[in-house]
A and B are shown apart, each in its own frame.
Chain A
């Protein structure tokens, strides 16, 4: 919708850019952005404006403000991965997905906050501090909280965004940008999308290039797309997907961008409900919502069946071993010599490396590197690494069996509960948290399947809850069609944030969800 407004001249790219930049400033307390590229953004907006004036915009995304998670390389802009190891690191190149966005004329507002090196499920463990969920400050949340003193509660009651792409999710949720890039290795795009009430798409592994995405787990990482509605996600997907000669793990098949039908029909679909996703810790609210969603599909004529993915309970352990092993390998490049932080310790190469890495990485990262190396030791390789790879196949096969039996889409919860207050979240350590929170999203990464979080309803506390749809490999069109149908059914409410209303109300007065497509 905003794209149409740009084309018709209702609003100009520079105006749009300025509004978003000032909204970013007013919502600084959210800590969603690590770097705001104000000058370059305005320049990009000016270029876009020239194109619109001459009637030659590059496409739907021309002039649209976007944000990128800070583990994507962006030429000339600091890329930190929320770590001391890369503070001050100015990328010499753009990640392929970033380049694609820029080539379409998108306006890059800045880099968003995350857990250090994307390790975590709260966006609380980065060196720039935690990200605050914009819904913490929404009227919907404030109305539901039993408060004694107004200001005291805001400070101590704010809830997390989820992670690790929390900054991107918060940026989209608070209207400071129209789309954001995240990354998804264990749920890192879908988890914060659910907590922040936005659409979070994890594409099939191999569909979108990882070139320039600082890797965590090469065999599971994918760039994730965060938007306010499913149609927007489809548009961005259309622009980013496709073979990249610079990333040999992208498939070579031709990708055809698609538009979603306006009135999707789900009556011929077969929806699977995996019983193992009824985790013991799942909140009763989400369980009820999940059930209601299943009924929605039933009533529309779809076939809804309970299915089984028996190895689900092992996905976290499997991920734990494979992730730490790949991390141990991927983090080896950070030695202080070519880029990034370098310790002053100068006695020997190895002591310099060790000191650099101790100073540059936080405990979570160091712990994973150490564990990863342990599982890769000759005496452990077979029992841990290879074993985990075998379990991975079992988990991936579980999904294959279900899809082969005629199921088109799986419907599951995305998170165990609505977002928790920060002070609750930090009571447990990172690994325990990740192990708990990733249970519903993790297996999808092991199997490389596409999945999407669609905001479904507000919890009793006034906070977002989302549901997850999992599709067959490379069947994003079907997945997004179902997601769009569901989105239309549930009519998830718009966040009522003072700051947003002040800055962008008039631009969006005609539009309900302020999408760009």
Chain B
């Protein structure tokens, strides 16, 4: 299976790590080749395992408020904020595709 440009763009959209350069792609290819070794194992009739504690019930506590009111502390670590809001740049602008990005960088 080749890692197509389409898949790469899609991955970047999900991962957002800006790793579409030659090195990133090479790493990915190696990782996939390595993972393909799993196909050697016969897993006929085997259930996937989510957790080693699957035989137990997860602990759920009562839906009571036990802490909170720490807005100030939480905001301390954010770089851009306005009153009690975290500020993000405009959304709904699609990530530049690889070729677009290159021409964008070349142009600037």
Contacts of A372 in B (CB 8 A): 15
A314 at the interface (CB under 8 A from B): yes
B103 at the interface (CB under 8 A from A): no
Task: Check B35–A367 contact: CB distance below 8 A.
Answer: no
Task: Check B31–A371 contact: CB distance below 8 A.
Answer: yes
Task: Check B11–A373 contact: CB distance below 8 A.
Answer: yes
A384 at the interface (CB under 8 A from B): yes
Count, A-B residue pairs, CB within 8 A: 190
B52 at the interface (CB under 8 A from A): yes
- Complex: chain B residue closest to A391, CB-CB: B41
Task: Check A363–B23 contact: CB distance below 8 A.
Answer: yes
Contacts of A219 in B (CB 8 A): 50-52
Q: Chain A nearest CB: distance from B51 CB in Å?
A: 5
A478 at the interface (CB under 8 A from B): no
Task: Check B89–A358 contact: CB distance below 8 A.
Answer: no
- Complex: chain B residue closest to A447, CB-CB: B52
Contacts of A338 in B (CB 8 A): 74, 77-78, 86
- Complex: chain B residue closest to A383, CB-CB: B39
| Stretch with Cβ within 8 A of B (4 or more), from A60-68, A195-203, A243-251 | A243-251
Partner of B91, one of A348, A375, A384, A387: A348
* A386-B74 CB under 8 A given contacts A349-B91, A370-B24: no
Tell me the bound Cα distance from A49 to B41 in angstroms: 59
B9 at the interface (CB under 8 A from A): no
B22 at the interface (CB under 8 A from A): no
Contacts of B12 in A (CB 8 A): 354, 370
A321 at the interface (CB under 8 A from B): yes
A352 at the interface (CB under 8 A from B): yes
Partner of A392, one of B32, B35, B49, B94: B49
Within 8 A of B (CB), among A387-424: 387-394, 396
Task: Check B47–A390 contact: CB distance below 8 A.
Answer: yes
Classify chain A: how many residues form its interface, as a range: 35 or more
Task: Check A321–B38 contact: CB distance below 8 A.
Answer: yes
Task: Check A348–B86 contact: CB distance below 8 A.
Answer: no
Q: Chain A nearest CB: distance from B48 CB in Å?
A: 3
Contacts of B87 in A (CB 8 A): 337
**Chain B residues with a Cβ closer than 8 Å to the other chain, count:** 59
Tell me the bound Cα distance from A369 to B20 in angstroms: 12
Task: Check A311–B53 contact: CB distance below 8 A.
Answer: no
- Complex: chain A residue closest to B72, CB-CB: A92
Contact indicator per residue, chain B 17-50, by CB within 8 Å of chain A (1) or not (0)? 1110001100110111011011111010011111
Contacts of B47 in A (CB 8 A): 390, 393
Partner of A387, one of B18, B24, B38, B50: B38
Q: Chain B nearest CB: distance from A217 CB in Å?
A: 11
Contacts of B79 in A (CB 8 A): 336, 342
Within 8 A of A (CB), among B64-108: 70, 73-74, 76-80, 86-96
Contacts of A335 in B (CB 8 A): 16
- Complex: chain B residue closest to A350, CB-CB: B95
Task: Check B46–A390 contact: CB distance below 8 A.
Answer: yes
Q: Chain B nearest CB: distance from A254 CB in Å?
A: 14
* A448-B53 CB under 8 A given contacts A314-B38, A388-B38, A390-B43: yes
Tell me the bound Cα distance from A361 to B19 in angstroms: 11
A186 at the interface (CB under 8 A from B): no
Task: Check B70–A92 contact: CB distance below 8 A.
Answer: yes
A252 at the interface (CB under 8 A from B): yes
Within 8 A of B (CB), among A332-349: 335-340, 342, 345-349
Q: Chain B nearest CB: distance from A311 CB in Å?
A: 7
Contact indicator per residue, chain A 360-381, by CB within 8 Å of chain B (1) or not (0)? 0101001101111111010000
A298 at the interface (CB under 8 A from B): no
Q: Chain A nearest CB: distance from B88 CB in Å?
A: 5
Task: Check B90–A348 contact: CB distance below 8 A.
Answer: yes
Task: Check B77–A249 contact: CB distance below 8 A.
Answer: no
Contacts of B18 in A (CB 8 A): 354-355, 357-358, 366
Task: Check B59–A243 contact: CB distance below 8 A.
Answer: yes
Contacts of A314 in B (CB 8 A): 37-38, 40-41
Task: Check B16–A353 contact: CB distance below 8 A.
Answer: yes
- Complex: chain A residue closest to B86, CB-CB: A337
* A384-B59 CB under 8 A given contacts A366-B24, A393-B48, A394-B46: no
Contacts of A206 in B (CB 8 A): 52-53, 56
Q: Could you give 28 example pairs across A and B, Cβ below 8 Å?
A: A206-B56, A219-B50, A245-B59, A245-B61, A248-B58, A314-B41, A318-B38, A337-B88, A346-B89, A347-B89, A347-B90, A348-B94, A349-B90, A350-B13, A352-B88, A363-B23, A370-B11, A373-B15, A374-B31, A374-B32, A375-B35, A387-B41, A388-B35, A390-B43, A390-B48, A390-B49, A391-B43, A394-B41
**Interface residues of B, Cβ cutoff 8 Å to A:** 3, 7, 10-19, 23-24, 27-28, 30-32, 34-35, 37-41, 43, 46-53, 56, 58-61, 70, 73-74, 76-80, 86-96
**Interface residues of A, Cβ cutoff 8 Å to B:** 89-90, 92, 205-206, 219, 243, 245, 248-252, 311, 314, 317-318, 320-321, 324, 328, 335-340, 342, 345-355, 357-358, 361, 363, 366-367, 369-375, 377, 383-384, 386-394, 396, 431, 435, 447-448, 473
